[in-house]
């Protein structure tokens, strides 16, 4: 015999792309959620800036409010989802709710990456859960997998594409769109942040990478540790050169444990077309997790979008309802205190684009500068430029510090024409297997 459903009164902080989709999902999937959990989640309040604004999915009269106190001071509200974004006032609101004993689900990667310790302290003080699946890779359940399924797997490397907007733009550029057209379309589809500079500048991906590294390694990884570069410097020439060498330009996030020290970085990279990340197109994301017991697990799926993100928010709500109080997990995923890998020590193969004068002896001087820093060339393609030569170079594995010193020396050569750029190459196959050695 089925028991009467237990009502859980829910409030949303924010009713935009994600908030409205959370409400819609709770309404449309209410029966399924009730069948699975015995609970009916009802949105009774939603905090916004402007209650008069036209909304795609409209709540009942009286649900929208501009007064946070209407959420905070209602003892009947059992659960809050923070889907408004920004550091303030979202941060203070979440802290107040947690300290007051209300569990919170958040999709806010900047808030979590920048104020995680305070937030988890507040959750502990209020003896409630703070869940954040939707803050990383929207629909992909990577936080749950890392915290629960892989709890005993000693994950030591995370590699992925964690921003939907930039992947959408780079895919569109490969298909012939301009950067501006592709960004406008990503905004129209609800993928981009309120300030899209966070996406294209890599800050959104940096916050997600800091969260992933923190959870994967069980040690607080501050977002300031992430070496971050966005896609603003990626040109159609880079995209075309990558395609000519059977690679794709992607904004790649990596978190690596090197001798129990942490290296975290986000930046454009050339991804070998045989690598799993090369196939990730549009607003999709993928995260590859490598660990002792599991070897490698790749999770892939929609990385942005209202309903896609709402699916993770609702899943966290259901987890909280099903595991009352602080749940079966320690709230804060951090349990140790690792150090950061010193800058420049991480090694990678590199793609170099060098514009130089096209005359005898120039190649020898470039090779000399690279060799002086122990950087060995695996592949070299020369194209004629406008009165000069464009060299596309792929190196063997080399430390970033040595590469940067070699590039500085190359930039100051009289034969250099200024256009010097470097991107890491991502490939599971060695340079030899690529047929370039």
Residues binding ligand HSE (CB under 6 A): 138, 163-165, 191-193, 199, 204, 303-304
* The entry of ligand NAP, ligand HSE, none that residue 199 binds, CB within 5 to 8 Å by partner kind: ligand HSE
* Kind and range of the H or E run holding 290: strand 284-291
Q: Minimal distance in Å, beta carbon 324 to ligand NAP?
A: 25
Closer to ligand HSE by Cβ: residue 93 or 284: 284
> Nearest residue to ligand NAP, using CB?
16
Q: Which residue, 67, 85, 63, 87, is CA-closest to 11?
A: 63
Whose tokens are 């001087």? That residue is 365
Closer to ligand NAP by Cβ: residue 135 or 416: 135
* The entry of ligand NAP, ligand HSE, none that residue 386 binds, CB within 5 to 8 Å by partner kind: none
Rounded distance, CA 8 to CA 178, Å? 47
- Residues 6 or more apart whose CB falls under 8 angstroms from that of 399 comprise 344, 345, 346, 347, 374
Q: Where are the beta strands (DSSP E) in 342-415?
A: 347-348, 350-356, 377-384, 389-395, 398-399
Closer to ligand HSE by Cβ: residue 110 or 256: 110
Answer for the pair 155, 146: CB distance below 8 angstroms, yes or no.
Answer: yes
Neighbours of 17 (CB within 10 A): 21
* The entry of ligand HSE, ligand NAP, none that residue 47 binds, CB within 5 to 8 Å by partner kind: ligand NAP
Burial of 383 (0-12, 13-18, 19+ CB in 10 A): exposed
Q: Which residue, 88, 50, 52, 90, is CA-closest to 71?
A: 90
Rounded distance, CA 268 to CA 273, Å? 15
Closer to ligand HSE by Cβ: residue 199 or 263: 199
Closer to ligand NAP by Cβ: residue 109 or 265: 109
Q: Minimal distance in Å, beta carbon 204 to ligand HSE?
A: 5
Q: Which residue, 395, 392, 381, 380, is CA-closest to 430?
A: 395
* The entry of ligand HSE, ligand NAP, none that residue 141 binds, CB within 5 to 8 Å by partner kind: none
* The entry of ligand HSE, ligand NAP, none that residue 18 binds, CB within 5 to 8 Å by partner kind: ligand NAP
Which residue is catalytic, options 109, 144, 208, 250? Answer: 208
* Kind and range of the H or E run holding 111: helix 109-126
* The entry of ligand HSE, ligand NAP, none that residue 75 binds, CB within 5 to 8 Å by partner kind: none
Q: Minimal distance in Å, beta carbon 38 to ligand HSE?
A: 31
What DSSP letter does each residue of 26-46 carry, written as one string?
HHHTHHHHHHHHSEEEEEEEE
Q: Minimal distance in Å, beta carbon 159 to ligand NAP?
A: 20
Pairing of strands 155-161, 104-106: unpaired
Q: Minimal distance in Å, beta carbon 228 to ligand NAP?
A: 16
Q: Which residue, 241, 249, 323, 233, is CA-closest to 281?
A: 249
> Nearest residue to ligand HSE, using CB?
165
* The entry of ligand NAP, ligand HSE, none that residue 165 binds, CB within 5 to 8 Å by partner kind: ligand HSE
Q: Minimal distance in Å, beta carbon 190 to ligand HSE?
A: 9
Q: Which residue, 299, 259, 266, is CA-closest to 145?
A: 299
Answer for the pair 135, 206: CB distance below 8 angstroms, yes or no.
Answer: no
* The entry of ligand NAP, ligand HSE, none that residue 284 binds, CB within 5 to 8 Å by partner kind: none
Q: Minimal distance in Å, beta carbon 208 to ligand HSE?
A: 7
Beta bridge partners of 268: 251
* Catalytic residue status for 109: no
Token duo for residue 90: 């979202």
Closer to ligand NAP by Cβ: residue 134 or 239: 134
Closer to ligand NAP by Cβ: residue 291 or 305: 305
Closer to ligand NAP by Cβ: residue 77 or 410: 77
- Residues 6 or more apart whose CB falls under 8 angstroms from that of 345 comprise 258, 263, 399, 400, 401
**% helix / strand / coil in the chain, to the nearest 5?**
35, 25, 35
Q: Minimal distance in Å, beta carbon 14 to ligand HSE?
A: 14
Interface residues toward ligand NAP, by CB under 6 A:
14-19, 47-50, 53, 83-86, 89, 107-109, 134, 138, 190-191, 193-194, 304-305, 309
Active site residues: 208
């Amino acid at each position: 015999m089925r028991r009467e459903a237990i009502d859980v009164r829910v409030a949303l902080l924010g009713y935009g792309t994600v908030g409205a989709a959370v409400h819609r999902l709770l309404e449309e999937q209410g029966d399924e959620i009730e069948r699975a959990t015995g609970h009916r989640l009802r949105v009774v309040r939603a905090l916004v800036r402007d209650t008069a604004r036209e909304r795609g999915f409209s709540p009942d009269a009286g649900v929208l409010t501009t007064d946070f106190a209407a959420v905070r001071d209602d003892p009947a509200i059992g659960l809050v989802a923070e889907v408004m974004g920004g550091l303030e006032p979202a941060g203070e609101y979440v802290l107040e709710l947690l300290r007051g004993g209300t569990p919170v689900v958040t999709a806010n990667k900047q808030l979590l990456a920048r104020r995680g310790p305070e937030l988890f302290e507040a959750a502990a003080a209020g003896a409630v859960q703070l869940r954040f699946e939707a803050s990383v890779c929207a629909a992909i359940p990577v936080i749950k997998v890392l915290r629960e399924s892989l709890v005993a797997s000693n994950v030591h490397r995370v590699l992925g594409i964690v921003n939907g907007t930039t992947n959408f733009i780079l895919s569109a550029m490969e298909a012939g769109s301009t950067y501006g057209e592709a960004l406008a379309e990503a905004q129209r589809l609800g993928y981009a942040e309120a300030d899209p500079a966070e996406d294209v500048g890599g800050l959104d991906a940096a916050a997600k990478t800091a969260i992933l590294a923190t959870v994967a390694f069980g040690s607080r990884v501050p977002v300031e540790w992430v070496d971050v570069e966005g896609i603003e410097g990626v040109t159609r020439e880079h995209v075309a050169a990558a395609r000519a060498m059977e690679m794709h330009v992607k904004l790649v996030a990596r978190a690596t444990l090197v001798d129990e020290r942490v290296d975290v970085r986000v930046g454009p990279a050339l991804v070998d077309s045989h690598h799993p990340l090369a196939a990730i197109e549009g607003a999709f994301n993928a995260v590859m997790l490598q660990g002792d017991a599991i070897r490698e697990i790749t999770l892939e799926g929609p990385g942005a979008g209202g309903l896609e993100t709402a699916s993770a928010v609702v899943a966290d709500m259901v987890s909280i309802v099903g595991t009352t109080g602080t749940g079966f997990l320690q709230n804060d995923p951090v349990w140790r205190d690792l150090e950061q890998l010193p800058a420049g020590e991480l090694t990678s193969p590199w793609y170099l684009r060098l514009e130089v004068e096209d005359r005898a002896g120039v190649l020898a001087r470039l090779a000399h500068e690279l060799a002086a820093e122990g950087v060995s060339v695996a592949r070299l393609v020369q194209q004629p430029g406008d009165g000069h030569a464009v060299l596309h170079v792929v190196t063997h594995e080399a430390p970033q510090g040595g590469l940067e010193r070699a590039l500085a020396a190359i930039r100051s050569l009289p034969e250099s024409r200024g256009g010097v750029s470097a991107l890491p190459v991502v490939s599971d196959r060695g340079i030899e297997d690529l047929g370039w050695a």
